[in-house]
Amino acid sequence: MEDVLIRTVQLTKQFGPAVVVDHLNLQVKSGEIFGFLGPNGSGKTTTIRMLTGLLDPSRGEAYICGYDINKQSAQAKALMAYVPDQPKLYGKLTAREFLFLMADLYRMPKAVSRQRAEQLLEMFGLADRADELLEGYSHGMRQKVVLASALIHQPRVILLDEPTVGLDPASARLLKDVLQEMAKMGAAVLVSTHILEIAERMCHRVGILKDGRLIAQGSPEELRRAVGHGEESLEDIFLELTGGHESAELIRGLEEGE
C-alpha cells in the first residue's frame, strides 16, 4: 500500500442524528486523479474537510501519505494542498506576496520559493498584475492565485473542492493540464466537481457519493460496464446511479408539452 496516498477507513461524520458521510472506504494512489461526484448534500465537501483535518470524524480514520490526519496532522498537512470551493484571500496582499507567504508557511528555502512563485504567476497568467492588491482581483483571478499557492510546495496530495468555479474555459483547461502533470510526477489528486464532462476528460477514476455512501467507483469505462451500457456518457451514468433520470425525463416531458 506504499503508493496509496489518500486512504479512508470507515470514515463517518454525523451532525446530530444526520449521517452526512457513512462508513466511507476510499483509496487514491500516486499518479492518479480521482473525481469525487455526487448530488448536492451527498457529503463530498464534508469528506474533503475531514481529509484536511478541518473537521474531526465521528468515527473512522483518514490517512494522507500514511499519516493519520488527526493524530499526525503536521506531517500530513506538510504533504498536501487544499483548494476550497470558496477560498478566502488577504485582500491587502499582492498575488506575489501571497505566494511568498504560502511558501514561507511551508518553510521553503527562499531561493527555491521565489523562483517557483514566478513560474506559477507566469503559468496562470498573473505575472502582469502580480503586484496589485488581491482585493482588486476578479473571482476568477483570485481562484487562480489560490490554485497557484496550493501548488507552490509541490504537494504529494492535492484536494480540490469545485476548483473550476469562476474559471474561464482557457483557465479550466490549464488547470486540467497542470493537475495531469502533477499526477505524472506522482501526486494523488482528489477533485470534487459538478462538471461531469471535466471529470470524464481529466480523471483516471471517479467515485459517486449518494447520501454519504460511496455507491460506485472505477474508471468511466468500468462504470459503463457496471450499469450494463457501453456508450453512455458519465453524465448518463451519474443520473442513472443517483436517481436523476426521473428528473431529467420530467423536464423533457415539460419541454415537449410547451
pLDDT at 31 > cutoff 70: yes
- Report, as an integer, the average pLDDT of 44-49: 95
Are the beta carbons of 161 and 193 closer than 8 angstroms? Answer: no
So where are the chain's domains? 1-79+156-209, 86-154
Q: DSSP string of 154-214?
A: --SEEEEESTTTT--HHHHHHHHHHHHHHHHTT-EEEEE-S-HHHHHHH-SEEEEEETTEE
Are the beta carbons of 87 and 134 closer than 8 angstroms? Answer: no
pLDDT at 256 > cutoff 50: no
Q: pTM for this one?
A: 0.87
pLDDT at residue 250 in the model: 36
Q: What confidence tens digit (pLDDT) does each residue in 150-203 have?
A: 999 999 999 999 888 777 888 888 888 999 999 999 999 999 987 777 788 889
Superfamily of domain 1-79+156-209: P-loop containing nucleotide triphosphate hydrolases (3.40.50.300)
Are the beta carbons of 119 and 103 closer than 8 angstroms? Answer: no
Average pLDDT of every residue of the chain: 88
Helix ranges (DSSP H) in 89-138: 95-105, 110-123
Q: What confidence tens digit (pLDDT) does each residue in 63-88 have?
A: 999 999 999 999 999 999 999 888 88
